[in-house]
């Protein structure tokens, strides 16, 4: 046994998938379609999607927001897990990528739960706040341009309820967070975000090494906020 996180070998990772993945056909099909795109690494891993579905069910989430939808695989996963009267607000710059996923949302019978907003997510988030949607959301998933992570996080903190969960993707960034030679803007932004969130008193924190690193930030109640 090991008391630290295992470094998954490929066969061990396959074992994990073989013994835990319950991916519906419609999700597998969208994943296979997305795998043909050069940007396919922007899609989350299937075991991460299943974990996020479990979190949605665990928290009885009804209203969720996703920042960075790409071809809609994570949105499909979340929409499946949300109740029939649930809603997922999706933000992405690209309409074209979303159009790839939309037929799969329809096949899965969850398209009615997804409210897609094309454009700069910061504008969509600003509008949600201006429309009085603070503390309305149960869950937020941040998986867009890394330079804006901190801004997305601050908006999500306003939009989720006390006890609401913010998920932040790619926080281990393929290991680049510890590569001092890597000074790309996106890498620096993730490092800065990780450093900031580590001591943010407004949330309960956990960073888990699933896929490319997923940070969980659970908003404390207002009384706990500084
Ligand atoms: Ca991602």
Q: Supply the pLDDT for residue 202.
A: 96
Q: Supply the pLDDT for residue 222.
A: 72
* 103: its two tokens: 């037929």
CA of 224 to the centre of ligand 1 (A): 30
Please determine, for residue 72, whether its predicted confidence score (pLDDT) is greater than 60.
yes
Q: How far is CA 215 from CA 1, 11, 87, 103, 127, in A?
A: 25, 25, 22, 30, 25
Distance CA 23, CA 3 (A): 29
Please determine, for residue 220, whether its predicted confidence score (pLDDT) is greater than 60.
yes
| Residue range 10-20, pLDDT digits in tens | 999 999 999 99
Q: Supply the pLDDT for residue 221.
A: 87
Over range 114-135, report the average pLDDT. Answer: 97
How sure is the predictor about 200, in pLDDT bands with cuts at 50, 70 and 90?
A: very high
CB atoms within 10 A of CB 59: 16
In b/e form, how buried is each residue of 77-93, taking b as 16+ CB within 10 angstroms?
bbbbbbeeebbbbbbbe
CA of 54 to the centre of ligand 1 (A): 18
Over range 62-83, report the average pLDDT. Answer: 98
CA of 64 to the centre of ligand 1 (A): 17
CA of 67 to the centre of ligand 1 (A): 10
Torsion-angle region of 68 (φ positive above 0: left; ψ -120 to 50: alpha; else: beta)? left
Over range 41-58, report the average pLDDT. Answer: 97
Please determine, for residue 73, whether its predicted confidence score (pLDDT) is greater than 70.
yes
CATH number of 10-219: 3.40.50.150
Please determine, for residue 223, whether its predicted confidence score (pLDDT) is greater than 60.
no
Q: Supply the pLDDT for residue 158.
A: 97
Reported as type and span, the H/E element at residue 145 is none
Please determine, for residue 193, whether its predicted confidence score (pLDDT) is greater than 90.
yes
Average pLDDT, rounded, for the chain = 96
Domain ranges of the chain: 10-219
The share of the chain scoring above pLDDT 90, in percent, equals 95
Distance CA 74, CA 45 (A): 9
Note residues around ion ligand 1 (Cβ under 5 angstroms): 143, 169-170
């Amino acid at each position: 046994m090991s008391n630290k996180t295992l470094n998954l070998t490929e066969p061990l990772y396959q074992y994990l998938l073989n013994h835990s993945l319950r991916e519906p056909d419609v999700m597998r099909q969208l994943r296979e379609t997305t795998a043909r795109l050069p940007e396919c690494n922007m899609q989350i891993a299937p075991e991460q999607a299943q974990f996020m579905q479990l979190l949605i069910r665990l928290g009885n989430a009804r209203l969720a927001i996703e920042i960075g939808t790409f071809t809609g695989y994570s949105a499909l996963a979340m929409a499946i897990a949300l109740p029939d009267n649930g809603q997922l607000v999706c933000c992405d710059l690209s309409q074209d990528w979303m159009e790839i996923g939309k037929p799969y949302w329809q096949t899965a019978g969850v398209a009615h739960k997804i409210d897609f907003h094309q454009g700069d997510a910061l504008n969509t988030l600003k509008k949600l706040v201006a429309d009085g949607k603070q503390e309305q959301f149960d869950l937020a998933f941040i998986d867009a341009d890394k330079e804006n992570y901190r801004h997305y996080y601050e908006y999500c903190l306003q939009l989720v309820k006390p006890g609401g969960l913010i998920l932040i993707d790619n926080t281990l960034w393929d290991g680049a967070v510890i590569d001092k030679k890597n000074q790309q803007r996106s890498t620096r932004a993730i490092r800065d975000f990780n450093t900031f969130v580590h001591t943010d008193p407004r949330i309960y924190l956990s960073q888990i090494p699933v896929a490319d690193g997923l940070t969980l930030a659970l908003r404390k109640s207002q009384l706990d906020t500084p």
